[in-house]
Amino acid sequence: MEPNGLPIQEKQKQTISPREFILRYIKYLPWILISVAIALIVAKIKLRYEIPIYRSEARMLIKKESPYGRSNDKFDDLFMGGGNQNVFNEMEVLKSRPLAARVVKSLRLQNTCYNKGNIRSTLLYPNPPLVILPLTSADSTANISLELTVQDNDHFKINEGAKVYAFGEGIDYGGQKIRVIRVYPQVHNIFASNIYNLSYSSVASAANNVVGSLGVTLADNLGQIINLSYESENSALAVDILNALMDVYKESNIEDKRQMRFTTLEFIEERLDTLRRELGMVEKDLTEFVETNKAFMLEKQSELYLDKLSTESTSLAQQELKLNIIDYLIRHIGNNPFTAVPVELGTQEPTLVPLITGYNQLQVERQNALATMPSTNPYIQQNLDPRIAKVRGDIQEALKTVRQAYAISKGSIQRQSNVTEGRLQSIPSKGRELAERTRQQKIKEELYLFLLQKQEETAIASASTVSDSKTVEPARSTGTVRPNARSVYMLYILIGLAIPAGLIVVREYMNDKVRDKSDIQKITDAPYIGEIGHSEDSGALVVTENSRRFISEQFRIIRTNMQFILSKVQNPVILVTSSFSGEGKSFISTNMGAVMALTGKKTVIIELDIRKPKVVSNLDIKKQAGLTNFIVGRASIQDIIVPVPGIENLFVIPCGPVPPNPAEMLLDPKLKELFDYVRKHFDRVIVDTAPVGLVSDAIILGEQADCTLYILRQNYTFRKQVALIDELYRNKKLPRLSLLLNDVEVGTGYGGYYGTYGGYGYGYGYGTGYFDESGKKKKKSLLKRLSQTFRI
């Protein structure tokens, strides 16, 4: 408890419940609805007049394996570019400007022609009726744009100029020599208008436009299928560009391969010439050695050993090759569980050939199944995959057995070769030299024959070159992507909500006036006794006998709450003040006096705002002697007490003539005499005094009062004035200070009308049948209410 006997009311936390939030901002709903409606209208207009953008899509397969298959041939690895394609590199090639330039040339996209309509222009594709033709090679790098008005089928004007030109005539335009060619025989009155916008772009500029609208993505990180997309205002153009891009990519791929093979053929021919010379020199040297060293018999002598050693070397090489093939097959099957096994690698083992053939057939069957179903399909997982795994295991076991046999055979041949070579070493040095020369001649001869074979293979491959890419799905239009009606409507709805929301935030930020109970209780702990609604009556007295109006019940609630504050006070004096003029002190004083008088309590209202008295004038009582007359000794107390017409037990003491020294008159001893008299003869005393925020009258009169009713007005009293109230409350400059919020608009408050010890909510009383609403005025027009919504 405070020392003055009033309970301490805890400050509320600065949070707003959902119910409070709705009640506070529901008044802005019409503005929000109007803003959203306008935004939707703008969105509708945008969708109506914006140029639609179409999207086309295509799919392309980039083959990883080369047409020659995977092999250990180093020649192919060196000269044929290896066996694998890098899909990501090929994606960058598809997005390259040189490739786009080839598309531009193939579709003749340097020229564009638009027909100008009333709302928007239309791209005329694929057959523009008019094109621009530069007359010099220098003009091919320039970008030209002009507006052309067709006069008839043979003449036109440029950019609304007065000069008339003929189609096909040479024209100097912007320092460039051009010619406008008529493609159609009829170009006048065949489209929406006779105005055309023509443009000619350089190949580089047109290629940049193609690349800018092109999308290249990988369909699957583990696959080789590429998704292509293109966006354009003309659906046919979007489809044609993707199809042309795939075609020129295939052509470029084939050209690269042919160029590679042509380079390879040049290298082989050059190397054959060199080997031909070297082989001739080796053969000549061998002949000279035999003739010089008379080594004829050595040949017969070493012929047997040389033939045997050659046969053994050949057999050893064959066994080594077979072992390499077996090792390759073992690695290939182990590392590539779902890839076919090469069958033409020289492995003709009876046990292997049927197994490999059956294995490859299963792989082909699986690949065909994957083309129409996912790998998780039971047919693949439960039928094909187990069969493939079983055959793979059989092949691996067979390969191990064959390899072991080959290894044993190789060891045997190697031992025999060592024996033969040892015997050959016993031949004199002439024989060894002869054998060395013979071996060199044989090596050169074999290399020469090998290159001849590769020359033929490369020539055949060059004649049958195919691209490493395949069109999976040709380009097709998927419809419009912009404007997206749903996205546009959603965006403009958000804009329609954001604009009033922003204004509301600005208004709330700029508003420094009291709006409701929470604004007050955030600043001060002074007791909050209740609220009084807005009155539409022209008179000040709204509380009358038998009145059941909403505002009358509010005053009755205040009267009930005052009883808790004045429960132990006999004939209390209630001081009514505010921060400054216009907050409704006189209105509250008058009706508080009336509501107390209706209970049978003899009540008097003292008009002590002697600087600006309003009580008597508001009650339409004639001017007469009052308080100032009594203080100067020109009237008695009985003479200045005036009954209020129409309200039994209610009296008023007028201010009288306004004195020149009001502050000094309030210090006159006769004022105490007045208060002693009214305490003795009246049950309730209401003192209407001057605003405490402007003058000190209320502080002076506080010594004579038992409690203070401090008036605040919604959207009128500044919040900083509440800090002054808190100071008065904490320093006890006014007795038993309680707060009352006046002129509360119905629907703007959200806490009901609360007293000191609890709340009795009547914030939604209209229409319930508890109150008399006959005196309620018609609602304001919607336009007027909207114009007042954002007032500050």
Q: What is the CATH number of the domain that holds 626?
A: 3.40.50.300
Q: Locate 716 and state its tokens.
A: 């009128």
Give the CA distances from residue 82 to residues 65, 85, 257, 331, 458, in Å, rounded to whole numbers and listed in that order.
9, 8, 12, 19, 15
Which amino acid makes up residue 759? Answer: G
Whose CA is closest to 90, among 81, 370, 212?
81
Count of Cβ atoms closer than 10 Å to residue 11 Cβ? 11
Regarding whether 444 and 432 lie in a shared domain, the answer is yes
> What 8-state DSSP symbol labels residue 781?
P
Q: Residue 6 domain-assigned? A: no
What local confidence, expressed as pLDDT, does residue 8 receive? 37
Regarding whether 530 and 493 lie in a shared domain, the answer is no
Regarding whether 729 and 610 lie in a shared domain, the answer is yes
Q: Residue 138 domain-assigned? A: yes
Q: Locate 573 and state its tokens.
A: 């004096």
Q: Residue 474 domain-assigned? A: no
Give the CA distances from residue 547 to residues 553, 555, 618, in Å, rounded to whole numbers and listed in that order.
8, 11, 19
Where would I find the H helices in 465-524? 485-510, 517-521
CA distance 562 to 569: 11
Regarding whether 33 and 76 lie in a shared domain, the answer is no
CB under 8 Å to 100, separation ≥6 — which residues? 207, 208, 210, 211, 214, 245
CB under 8 Å to 562, separation ≥6 — which residues? 529, 574, 707, 709, 738
- CA end-to-end span of the chain: 38
Regarding whether 250 and 269 lie in a shared domain, the answer is no
Which amino acid makes up residue 501? Answer: A
> What 8-state DSSP symbol labels residue 8?
P
* Residues 306 and 485: beta-carbon distance below 8 Å: no
CA distance 24 to 594: 32
What local confidence, expressed as pLDDT, does residue 149 receive? 92
Whose CA is closest to 264, among 460, 466, 70, 67?
460
Regarding whether 753 and 676 lie in a shared domain, the answer is yes
What local confidence, expressed as pLDDT, does residue 4 receive? 40
Q: Locate 269 and state its tokens.
A: 């021919």
Per-residue b/e over 713-731, b at no fewer than 16 CB within 10 Å? bbebbebebbeebbebbee
Regarding whether 295 and 247 lie in a shared domain, the answer is no
CA distance 142 to 230: 25
Regarding whether 648 and 767 lie in a shared domain, the answer is yes
User: Any idea which residue has 């290939």 for tokens?
Assistant: 332
* Residues 329 and 402: beta-carbon distance below 8 Å: no
Regarding whether 732 and 713 lie in a shared domain, the answer is yes
Q: Residue 471 domain-assigned? A: no
CA distance 481 to 647: 77
* Residues 235 and 126: beta-carbon distance below 8 Å: no
- Beta strands 642-643 and 144-150 are unpaired
User: Of 207, 237, 255, which residue sits at a domain end?
Assistant: 255
User: Any idea which residue has 């006769």 for tokens?
Assistant: 670
- Beta strands 707-713 and 573-578 are parallel
Q: Residue 19 domain-assigned? A: no
Q: Residue 297 domain-assigned? A: yes
CA distance 448 to 333: 34
Whose CA is closest to 648, among 613, 620, 683?
683
Q: Which helix (H) or strand (E) segment is 145 a member of?
A: strand 144-150
* Residues 666 and 674: beta-carbon distance below 8 Å: no
Taking only Cα atoms into account, the Rg of the chain, rounded to an integer number of angstroms, comes to 54
CA distance 57 to 226: 11
Per-residue b/e over 782-792, b at no fewer than 16 CB within 10 Å? eeeeeeebbee
Give the CA distances from residue 448 to residues 254, 272, 604, 714, in Å, rounded to whole numbers and listed in that order.
29, 6, 136, 109
3-state SS class at 651: strand
The residue ranges of the chain whose pLDDT is under 70 are 1-16, 20, 64-85, 137-141, 293-303, 305, 342-348, 371, 422-432, 462-465, 746-792
Q: Locate 338 and state its tokens.
A: 């779902």
Regarding whether 269 and 242 lie in a shared domain, the answer is no
Domain that holds residue 85: 53-255
CA distance 735 to 699: 9
Give the CA distances from residue 289 to residues 372, 444, 635, in Å, rounded to whole numbers and listed in that order.
70, 18, 165
* Residues 39 and 495: beta-carbon distance below 8 Å: yes
Count of Cβ atoms closer than 10 Å to residue 275 Cβ? 18
Whose CA is closest to 187, among 129, 146, 134?
129
3-state SS class at 156: strand
Q: Residue 491 domain-assigned? A: yes
Give, in degrees to the nearest 5, the angle at Cα 359 between 354 and 364: 125
Query: Strand locations in 436-551, DSSP E?
Result: 469-482, 528-533
φ, ψ of residue 758 in degrees (nearest 5): 160, -170
CA distance 383 to 380: 6
CB under 8 Å to 667, separation ≥6 — which residues? 700
CA distance 59 to 473: 5
Per-residue b/e over 362-388, b at no fewer than 16 CB within 10 Å? bbeebeebeeeeeeeeeebeeebbeeb
| Distance, CA of 456 to chain centre | 60
3-state SS class at 680: helix
145 bridge partner residues: 199
Count of the separate structural domains present in the chain: 4
Regarding whether 167 and 43 lie in a shared domain, the answer is no
Packing angle, helices 97-107 and 203-212, rounded to 10:
110
3-state SS class at 744: strand
> What 8-state DSSP symbol labels residue 65?
B
User: Of 464, 495, 528, which residue sits at a domain end?
Assistant: 464
Q: Residue 163 domain-assigned? A: yes
Sign of CA dihedral 656, 659, 662, 668: negative
CA distance 277 to 291: 21
Regarding whether 312 and 247 lie in a shared domain, the answer is no
CA distance 179 to 198: 12
Per-residue b/e over 567-599, b at no fewer than 16 CB within 10 Å? eeeebbbbbbbbbbbebbbbbbbbbbbbbbbbe
Edge-first strand listing for the sheet containing 130-134: 130-134, 176-182, 170-173
Give the CA distances from residue 647 to residues 575, 601, 603, in Å, rounded to whole numbers and listed in that order.
21, 11, 10
